[in-house]
Structure formats: C-alpha cells, structure tokens
C-alpha cells in the first residue's frame, strides 16, 4: 500500500498510547502492524511539506487553563504533563513518534494530524455520555471543518438532554395589553380617556418559555438536525420550536443571549456557551488562519471518571478526590506534596486503593506488567494509606481490546490478575483489573453502533461482578446500586 505522509497522518492511522515509526520511507503503525510506503511528490505529496506539522504537534504546550466545558463538580484532573506526541528524528522519511492519552486533531500549513482512540469512536460516544473534558490550544490559528467536531456536537446533545431533565428554561417577560380585567400595573391616564371601552391598558410580567436561551437552543437544534445526523435531535427540536413559536431570530441576537441567572436552570449555561460556538462554526477555530490550530480530548481523564461513576452506581462510597488529605514531604521543611489516588473506598472497615490507567498494559515483552512509574506510584499511595487506614487491597484498572482479552485468556480469571505486594511488614493483595472493550470484527458498520452499546454494557456488568467478587469475596449484584 502506498500513501502520502499527509494521508497517513490524517486518516485515523495514528491512535493514542502507541508507537509509530517510518524507516527509509516505510511507515509502520504500532497497533495494526501494517506497513505503508510513503508516496513522494513535488507538492502536496512531498513528505517535507508535512514535516513542520509534526514539529508543531510535538511542541504544543497544554495548560490547565485550556480545559474547557468542564463541570466544576467533576472530580478528575487533566494530566497536563502529557504531550500530544513525542517525536524523534529529523527526516520525514525516517522518524518515530509516540502518542499519549490525548486524541484529536491539529492543523497547520494545509495539513492535518489526527490521533484517534485505539478503541474507536463508539467507545468515545459511550464514555462521553457520562463525562466531559475537552482541551484546546488557543491563539494557535484557525482550521477547516473536520476532525473531532462531531464529538463536540454529540457532547452538546448529551449536555442538553441532561439539562432538559430540569424542564425547559423559563423567564419573566414584560407584556403590555388591553384587558377586560386589571392585571399587573394599570395605566390610569388611558383608563380615564377610554372609559367607554371598558378595557384597561395593563403592564404585567409572566413566565415565558420563549426567551433568549430557548431561542438559541432551538436554532442550534435546527442547524444540527439539518447537517449532523445525530440521533435524538428531532423530538427536542420540535419541543423548542413550539416554545419559541417557530420564529428564526437574527444570528447576532442569538449570540448575544445572556446566561441564565436562575440557579435552578444553571445546567443550561454550558449548553448555551457551546451552542454559540456551534452556530458560529468555530468548534475548532481559534486565532489566525495562517497558523496552527488544535482541538484535543483527554481520554484518560474521561475513562477515570467513567470508572468512578460505574463503581458509584454499584453502591460504593468513594472518597472525594478533592478533599484527599494525604501528603508527603518533597524534601523541603514545612512543604507538602499532595497524593491523590484515583479510587479510595471502604468495605467492612478496610480501605482499598486503586488507580485507573487508560494506557496499554503489557502482558509480555522485556518488562511485562504494570510499568515502573505506575507501580512505584501505587506503592507510595498504599504506603501512605497504611498510616491512616487498614488497607485490604490495592490495584489498577485498565481497558483492554476484545482480541487481547481472548488472547490472554482473561475470562478464566474474570479479568482480574491477583498477586501481592508487601507494605508495613505484611502482604497486601494487588489486583490488576481489565475492562474488555468490544471490537467490530465482521459486524457491518451500519449495525456496529447498536451492537457495541449492547456488548459493552454486558462487558461492564461482567467487570463489576468480577471486580467486586474477586476483591471483596462473596458478592452479589442484583439491581445496580446493591452491593455488600
């Protein structure tokens, strides 16, 4: 197979947490292991023309302030130490790059670099329904449409559906009408001059669903329904169109819609913010068109939050990460450095400490198992936990592809590998748990969405049952939220 380097970087070949390399003009993707010859040409197919894009991607600086659309109640953090890619080599035909936990697209000089999830778009759709966290690189230039804009549209719809559970936002509207009965404030001069009419010029205020917020959302639903193909838009569109009388308001008026002040409807404010960006078409457009732009997405943060919500649904009382009081000395007197494990929970008077890892787990190779840094980090967490609690177990949770699940015969252990570590003079169980993510295989693409939803839900149920029964012993889950 022969492709241009521009095609290789933009068609989804690159995935997260994977090593890719080009040797003498032959590019090999680390996850598919397929080799592609890099086509060379004088203009767009010239690999040298794409090389500046790779360098831009390797040098992007991601700052915590650039995390947008993030719920203030969410108990997860973005790993700001992660680069988009690590690049080595100085020749566009001989280089290697390693991706981390960030996916998305970056564009520069008319070329696009796209990093996809190694588990596919259906996996992203599933976990984004429970979590959010987009990273953007501001002041880096504009970009054409494409990449992961669909993900932001999908996220907007999820946020709207959650806000809609509160009911449609309503606000007071001032009206002036001539009525047969006095309502609100009556105009005495008009009443005196027009006594024979037996009507009263009144000014009053009443609740109305036809307000700037609903008008903005109605217009956004109309635009997306016409071009995006997202499921679940039509009924919502009809509801908001009815509330606003079906009128189309000028775009500038909609973009000037103020936030909702009523705290009960506060969930609509992030919906409105994103709706304005959808209408302006700048989901991934920032800065000047001749520079670089990027729209990034931290999947590791979402996967951690997804696992936390799964365990909460099973009834576990997780410690709040934001209030964790664990800390160690960094070697400077009176200074402390916080330790924040991903998961800390109690069961029958004992404490369990787990970390959630989105990265690859290596079952073989020169250094199989949990990597060195993550293992040392877990030992530090457990060591500190023993100062405060009776630790009953610890471990890590990873996602794993269905093919690897079968290859490693993980079903025989319920997806749990158990060993021990030694802390404080006693042995503590160490559990490495895996969530199996289905792969499409021979399933037609048109059917894969529904098939994935069904199979992944089964996988999640299996994970919860096996995780709890292996770690806590006797365990029963009937309906979600019952555990013991």
Does residue 70 surpass a pLDDT of 50?
A: no
Does residue 366 surpass a pLDDT of 70?
A: yes
What is the pLDDT, as a whole number, of residue 12? 81
pLDDT in tens, 375-430: 999 999 999 888 888 999 999 999 999 999 999 999 999 999 999 999 888 899 99
pTM equals: 0.75
Between the two ends of the chain, the Cα-to-Cα distance in Å is 55
Does residue 324 surpass a pLDDT of 80?
A: no
Neighbours of 122 (CB within 10 A): 19
pLDDT in tens, 179-204: 888 887 888 878 767 777 778 888 88
Q: CB-based contacts of 278: which residues, under 8 Å, 6+ apart?
A: 152, 153, 156, 220, 223, 224
User: How far apart (Å, rounded) are the C-alpha atoms in residues 125 and 208?
Assistant: 34
- Cβ(207)–Cβ(171) under 8 Å? yes
164 to each of 157, 384, 394, 405, how far by Cα in Å?
10, 43, 39, 39
How much is the mean pLDDT over the chain?
81
Token look-up 């592609």 returns 36
User: How far apart (Å, rounded) are the C-alpha atoms in residues 356 and 77?
Assistant: 12
162 to each of 27, 130, 188, 216, 224, how far by Cα in Å?
44, 10, 47, 17, 18
- Secondary structure (3-state) at 194: coil
Residue 250, sorted as left (phi over 0), alpha (psi -120 to 50) or beta, turns out to be beta
Does residue 453 surpass a pLDDT of 50?
A: yes
Domain boundaries, the chain: 2-147+292-299, 160-170+210-280, 171-208, 314-472
- Cβ(343)–Cβ(308) under 8 Å? yes
């Amino acid at each position: 197979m022969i492709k241009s380097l521009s095609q290789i970087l933009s068609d989804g070949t690159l995935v997260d947490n994977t090593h890719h390399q080009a040797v003498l003009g032959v590019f090999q993707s680390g996850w598919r292991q397929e080799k592609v010859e890099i086509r060379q040409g004088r203009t767009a197919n010239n690999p040298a023309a794409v090389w500046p894009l790779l360098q831009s991607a390797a040098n992007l600086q991601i700052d915590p302030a650039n995390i947008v659309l993030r719920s203030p109640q969410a108990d997860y953090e973005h790993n700001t130490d992660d680069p988009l890619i690590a690049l080595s080599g100085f020749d566009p035909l001989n280089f290697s790059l390693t991706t981390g936990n960030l996916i998305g697209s970056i564009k520069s000089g008319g070329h696009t670099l796209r990093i996809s999830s190694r588990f596919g778009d259906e996996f992203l759709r599933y976990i984004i329904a429970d979590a959010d966290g987009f990273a953007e690189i501001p002041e880096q230039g504009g970009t054409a449409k494409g990449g992961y804009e669909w993900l932001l549209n999908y996220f907007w719809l999820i946020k709207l559906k959650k806000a809609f559970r509160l009911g449609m936002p309503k606000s007071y509207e001032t009206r002036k009408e001539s009525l047969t009965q006095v309502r609100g404030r009556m105009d005495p001069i008009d009443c005196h001059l027009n006594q024979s009419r037996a009507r009263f010029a009144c000014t009053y205020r009443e609740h109305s669903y036809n307000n700037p917020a609903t008008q903005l959302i109605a217009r956004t639903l109309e635009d997306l329904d016409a071009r995006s193909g997202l499921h679940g838009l039509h009924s919502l569109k009809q509801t908001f169109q009815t509330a606003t009388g079906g009128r189309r308001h000028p775009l500038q008026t909609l973009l000037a819609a103020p936030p909702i002040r009523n705290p009960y409807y506060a969930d609509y404010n992030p919906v409105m913010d994103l709706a304005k960006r959808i209408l302006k078409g700048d989901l991934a457009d920032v800065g000047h068109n001749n520079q670089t732009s990027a729209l990034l997405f931290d999947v590791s943060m979402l996967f951690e939050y997804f696992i936390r919500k799964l365990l909460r649904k099973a009834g576990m009382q997780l410690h709040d990460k934001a209030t964790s009081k664990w800390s160690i000395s960094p070697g400077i007197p009176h200074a402390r450095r916080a330790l924040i494990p991903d998961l800390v929970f109690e069961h029958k008077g004992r404490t369990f400490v787990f970390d959630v890892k989105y990265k690859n787990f290596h079952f073989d190779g020169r250094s199989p198992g949990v990597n060195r840094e993550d293992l040392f980090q877990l030992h530090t967490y457990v060591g500190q936990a023993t100062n405060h609690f009776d630790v009953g177990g610890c471990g890590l949770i990873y996602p794993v592809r269905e093919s690897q699940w079968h290859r490693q015969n993980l079903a025989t252990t319920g997806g749990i590998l158990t060993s021990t570590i030694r802390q404080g003079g006693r042995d503590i169980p160490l559990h490495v748990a895996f969530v199996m993510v289905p792969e499409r295989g021979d399933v037609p693409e048109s059917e894969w969405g529904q098939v994935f939803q069904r199979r992944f839900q089964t996988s999640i149920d299996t994970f919860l049952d096996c995780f709890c029964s292996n770690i806590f012993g006797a365990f029963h889950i009937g309906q979600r939220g019952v555990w013991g």
